[in-house]
Amino acid sequence: MGHLARLFILLLPTFLLSSPANSAVQGNDFIEVFEKLSGKHPGVRKGHAKGVCALGSFSPSKESALYSHANLFSGQDIKASIRFSMAGGNPYADETARSPRGIGVQFSLPNGAVHNIAGLTTPVFPGKDPETFLGLLKTLLPNEQGKVDFAKLAEYRQAHPSTLPQFNWLQSHNPPSSYTRAQYFGIHAFYLVDEKGQKTKFKWRLVPDEGELPLTEEQMAQLPKSFLAKKLQQELSDGQRSFDLQAIIGEAQDPVNDPSQAWPESRKVISLGKLTMHSAGDDHCEKINYDPNVLAKGVLPSSDPVLKLRSVAYAISFAKRVSGN
């Protein structure tokens, strides 16, 4: 077992104690459900198991420095380690399925620190809090006959309406044809902090410069279950691909503790900078824990209980992965 694995295992009790005090569930509850749903895959992420690494850089906009004193926005290009992925714990997930795609980005800051973001191709999360999301996952567990009880699932969704926005969004949007032709949403609220300590509530999103391009119904029926990693490598061999990192500026009435709710489309949007991908296909990102609570000074997390619990679940998953469990 490597030094990094031992360190994370030693730190796990601290992470567990940092679970939201008002949460009835713990990070390990999600790890256990993911393994029951997708099987145990030693050395593999427990969530977003199937993915591909990319290397790139981030060039901040001038406007970003007006909102935050973070050195992420200091004006110089920043190295970015990126991982695109499929939702769920199945490392063989079907890439034509109506499920979220994910992105994790780790920005290497000039002072040696890092800033992480992690998002989905859906603008909302499938539950207002950890308890609701865990209950939803449990309804997907097979019954004694080895089948999912879809009637029970539908009943749960109706009884817990915060699970419906993401489900409805996925039903009305075909999955992306490429990892580079999709929008990614941060889902959770954060705060930009300027030099005077003024806080600005925001949610981030990544908008592809080439525009979104979903799969057609015909492509969904005919494409193989795995094509996204190969397509990304082909795209980047032909040239760079880029996203505009944007901040959706929240207003006083916009909730910060319910990721199942999207803010109104009328909110002000600013560009924080350009994320450019240069290459893909190595395995460097498999050593990275994309905990979205690891932030540069000048950016703060909100009180969202789902966001808080993600640190715990990510830490447990990372420790299991690097120790080969």
List the one residue out of 322, 315, 306, 312 whose CA is nearest residue 137: 306
Q: What is the DSSP string of 64-96?
A: HHHH---GGGSSS-EEEEEEEEESSS-TT--TT
* H-helix or E-strand spanning residue 11: helix 3-17
Catalytic residue selected from 41, 48, 115, 188: 48
Task: Calculate the alpha carbon distances from 215 to 85, 178, 238 in Å.
Answer: 17, 9, 21
3: its two tokens: 């030094």
Look up 160 and say whether it is catalytic.
no
Contacts of 2 (CB under 8 A, 6+ apart): 322
Distance CA 198, CA 18 (A): 27
Per-residue burial over 253-280, b if 16 or more Cβ lie within 10 Å, else e, is: ebebbbbbebbeeebeebebbbbbbeeb
Could you tell me which residues are beta bridge partners of residue 299?
192
Q: Determine how β-strand 199-208 pairs with β-strand 299-301.
A: unpaired
59: its two tokens: 């060039």
Please list the helix, strand and coil fractions of the chain in percent, rounded to the nearest 5, in that order: 30, 25, 45
Q: How many CB atoms lie within 10 A of CB 2?
A: 11
Contacts of 276 (CB under 8 A, 6+ apart): 56, 57, 58, 59, 240, 241, 242
**Residues designated catalytic:** 48
